[in-house]
Homo-oligomer: A and B are copies of this chain.
Amino acid sequence: MKHKLLVLTRDNSAYYEAIRRHNLPDLEVLDDSPNSVFEADVWLAEPKLAAPLLAHASQLAWVQSTFAGVDALTKSRRHHHYQLTNIKNLFGPMMSEYVFGHILALYRHHTKYSQLQRNSHWQALPLRQLRGKRMVLLGTGDIGQHICQTAHQFGIEVIGVNRSGTPKAPFDMTLSIQQLDSALPGADLVVCVLPSTDETVNLFDKHRLQLLKPGTIFVNVGRGDLVDEQALILHLSLNPTSHAVLDVYRQEPLPEDNPLWKCQNAILTPHVAAPSTTEDVVRQFADNYLRFIANQPLNNQIDFALGY
């Protein structure tokens, strides 16, 4: 049986090229005409581009997301008539780079040393060391596990937080989201890599942000709707020694008039912590495609009810 693939990304030509190199058997790659939506049984797609077309996807059997985050597909209550898989084990190393790059820049006074250099001024600032600090890490999947390993390499104790609270390696302790409040006051670092689900929306509201001690660094590289941005802005202005490092926002691109941009102790980046490369995504798609045609279970399947 011949399978028909629809590619829905912001750079289809790069994907066509990468897919061609894999020489996948019995696969016809369709063009991006409207007809292809009706015909294709396999989609390789960015979740937000795929979501509005699902109602017309009469032949669809499987969607391979090009991202880790698939909430644009799981949050819809309808159109769950296909298998959904996402990308895993690519983002951990990039997320570790992002998270520790920014934490270390703050701990080691990069901005202040850069000012001193501009003034040709030799002056040592107080040392803050990561060793012995405590991180509360929300999200214990492959990304969280990589960040945890990196934290351990720097001598940080890591409390993982997930839905069930089931103990998980390599975390020093694992709590459920319901137990989160007990861990926040002891945290030096709070890092969020959670997917967006009903349980995580507005998790960091005014109440929870108040549980953080002054000086805490709050990092969000998961989903923007985890945080009440107005409450965060208030929290940061009340706690000038605290910092937020944000890569994701409730609205992206972040509107030019959003007051977060001007927040002195917020560090903002435009959703760039862990982009996937076409080559890496297509490699995972190709592996899964061979499983798909052999009727084997697909890798990285998403449970629509859980949202991850």
Contacts and interface: CB of A to CB of B under 8 A. Distances in A.
Interface of A: 93-94, 96-98, 100-102, 104-105, 107-108, 110-111, 113-114, 116-117, 120-125, 127, 129-131, 149-150, 153-155, 252-254, 256-258, 261-262, 267-272, 275
Given A101-B101, A101-B108, A108-B101, A275 B127 contact: yes
A234 to B, nearest CB: 19
B98 A108 contact: yes
Contacts of A270: 113, 116, 122-124
Contacts of A107: 97, 101
Contact of A101 (B93, B110, B127): B110
A20 B123 CA distance: 31
A97 B272 contact: no
A84 to B, nearest CB: 26
B271 A124 contact: yes
Interface centre among A97, A105, A130, A271 (most CB of B within 10 A): A97
A181 B110 CA distance: 32
Contact of A125 (B117, B125, B272): B272
Contact of A110 (B100, B110, B122, B150): B110
6 contacts: A100-B100, A100-B104, A117-B267, A122-B253, A122-B254, A127-B272
Given A123-B270, A131-B93, A101 B98 contact: no
A303 B131 CA distance: 30
Nearest to A123: B270
Nearest to A111: B114
Contacts of A257: 120
Nearest to A146: B153
Contacts of A155: 93
A237 B162 CA distance: 49
Nearest to A122: B253
Contacts of A120: 256-258, 261-262
Contacts of A125: 272
Nearest to A249: B122
A275 B113 CA distance: 16
A105 B110 contact: yes
Given A101-B108, A105-B105, A116-B270, 4 more contacts: A97-B107, A110-B110, A122-B254, A124-B271
10 closest Cβ pairs, A-B complex: A101-B104, A122-B253, A120-B261, A122-B270, A120-B256, A117-B268, A124-B272, A153-B153, A101-B108, A93-B131
